Amino acid sequence: MAFELSRRILRLLWAFEQLEVRLEAPALPRPERRRAKRANQGIGLVALGLPDLSERADAAHDDELERFTDACPVPTTHARLSEAHAFWHEALDAYHDPAAFVSKLNALIQALRNITWALQKELGPHPELETGWYKGWQDRMREDRRLKWASDARTQIVKRGDLETNSKARVRIVGEGIGGVGTEIDVEPAATASEILRRLDIGGLRDRVRREGTLTVERRWTVEAFPDEELLDVLAHCYGVLSHVVAEAHEQLDGSMSTCVKTADDPHEQASAWQHPSRRLPCMWAGREARTSRRNLRSGAPIRVAFSSVARPPVDEEALRQRYADAPWEAPSPGGDLFEHARALHENGRRMLLADGEHIMIAWLYNGNQAVSQQGLAPRDQREKFLIIEQLANEAARLGADGVILTSEAWEAPAAEPDDPLAELRAAEREDRTEALVTHALRRDGTTKSYRSPMLGLPGELKLGDVEVYDYEHPLLRPFLDVWAEWPGISDG
């Protein structure tokens, strides 16, 4: 098959040469060229002078776009917003190249300032908005420390030396029950993760920490004005505030960001930002992962954590009904909150455990009382379990989820005194361990509930005890609270 395909391509190229047909790259819009470059993809050549069937498809696409979108009431402002978003990603791509990063950074800062310039000009025909609605926003933006810094930096230009003075690496040892206590060290701007790791002294750690812990190194460009905040996070906050202003400008002029033609035609899919509690784009929350490296604390081997979709076989609904036919499925009460959903999911988990003899770890991310994601998790050890939960917390940030439910089997053991050797062992390592089905639910405000069903009976005769409800915070879910604590409000200064 490969030979036949190659033969046909060569024949086609020979025909082009005989007919003197020129091949050139098409004149694509700048956002599409940037997207291809970011994905390390080439742009295919087209034959000049031959009929272009794609033009018909593009025309049909344009007609379809016009049917379901509205004209943009502030087109120049909206275009500047898209430009700033593109520059933010270009700065992230250049994070490990100081000269390129500074260049992209200054372009980004200028682009952010251009948004307000363009908006003021487009509000000119609407003086009532300029002196009323927009005046209120101007007052709020002047009180925002990050926006003020970005505005001052535009007139001063950020220099490489300023950034090099404040380049740091945040180093932490993380894991369930280990905590995330870390330190910051000054690093050379172009230092690799391996070079940073060689500078660290991690002697004197307990064996369990070495066995289960992960060394996390996060590269962070900072400036003197915000020594505790990463620079692209600062500018993502600025972008979030300005995107909120632009969204409201659409509404003030009887439009909508969600149906705006510029939103629909933007390859970055900006519309998803308007539902996020922080007003940041999901991709800007994912930026931290791009500048973070992880190492196995014991072996030093690199670790990569990612979610992937796995195609499942077709579901036989009739077989499912027969397998779990002993009782109707539990449904949350109408209008039930996160904890009511957790209660119902725990009841259904009990049924599945009794029918199957096991229950995998499953997590649900919620936005309010609506599930936005369901993930089946399969950690092989304690290190993987914590890293998966940490990555799930990052996914919650990306999706704007403000609640999580986690159901799994769990080993349990009685608490031991600090000086008891058993205190160093996990429940799974102890002879007196027992098992339970547990469901933990946690909301962004820190309120939590856990549902526990102890497993009783002999092997092969599984029974479950009554459901017990607790309201303590499980340490495994701590990464969610850490992520939610970083969500800036629109008026944060």
Number of domains in the chain: 2
Q: Look at residue 50 and tell me if it is in a domain.
A: no
Q: Which residue has the tokens 């230009």?
A: 157
CA distance 437 to 383: 21
Chain center to CA of 25: 34
> Looking at the structure, do residues 346 and 298 belong to the same domain, yes or no?
no
User: Do 410 and 280 fall into the same domain?
Assistant: no
User: 62 in a domain, yes or no?
Assistant: no
Supply angle C-alpha 365, 370, 376, rounded to 5: 30
If asked whether residues 327 and 266 sit together in one domain, one would say no
Residues 233 and 157 in one domain: yes
User: For 277-328, what is each residue's pLDDT tens digit?
Assistant: 766 777 887 777 778 888 887 777 888 877 777 777 787 778 877 888 776 7
Residue 311 exposure: Cα atoms within 13 Å on the Cβ side: 2
Residue 480 forms part of a structural domain: yes
Residues 327, 289 share a domain: no
| Residue 204 belongs to a domain | yes
Inside any domain, residue 210: yes
Say if residue 480 is in the same domain as residue 425.
yes
**Dihedral sign (CA 222, 84, 305, 483):** positive
The verdict on residue 153 lying in a domain is yes
Residue 397, token pair as written in the block: 């940030």
CA distance linking residue 428 with residue 269, whole number of Å: 45
Residue 145 main-chain phi, psi, to 5 deg: -60, -40
Q: What's the pLDDT score for residue 350? A: 92
- Provide the Cα torsion 349, 355, 356, 358; round to 10°: 40
pLDDT value of residue 46: 65
The pLDDT score that the predictor gives to residue 226 is 86
Q: Kindly state whether residues 258 and 133 are assigned to the same domain.
A: yes
Cβ–Cβ under 8 Å, residues 110 and 88 = no
User: What pLDDT, on a 0 to 100 scale, did the predictor assign at position 452?
Assistant: 95
Point out the domain boundary residue: 304, 323, 338. 304
Structural domain that includes position 367: 315-484
Distance of CA 379 to the CA centre of its chain: 20
Residue 150 lies in a domain: yes
Both 367 and 319 in a single domain?
A: yes
- How much is the pLDDT for 267? 55
Report the distance separating Cα 265 and Cα 281, nearest Å: 16
Which pLDDT score is estimated for 161?
62
Amino acid at 254: D
Residues of the chain with pLDDT under 50: 53, 56-61, 64-65, 271-273, 490-493
Kindly state whether residues 248 and 339 are assigned to the same domain: no
Which of the listed residues 276, 304, 332 is the one where a domain comes to its end? 304
Q: Answer for the pair 137, 120: CB distance below 8 angstroms, yes or no.
A: no
203 inside domain: yes
Q: What is the spatial distance between Cα 360 and Cα 216, in angstroms, rounded to a whole number?
A: 28
Question: Could you tell me if 291 and 401 lie in one domain?
Answer: no
Cα–Cα distance, 176 to 378 (Å, whole number): 16
Give 347-415 as a DSSP string. HHHHHHHHHHS---EEEEEEETTEEEEEEEE--SSHHHHHHHHHHHHHHHHHHT--EEEEEEEEEE---
Same domain for 336 and 275: no
Q: Are residues 262 and 329 in the same domain?
A: no
pLDDT of residue 490: 42
Evaluate whether 449 touches 339 at the Cβ level (below 8 Å): yes
246 sits in the region (left: phi over 0; alpha: psi -120 to 50; else beta) called alpha
Last residue of a domain, one of 304, 326, 349: 304
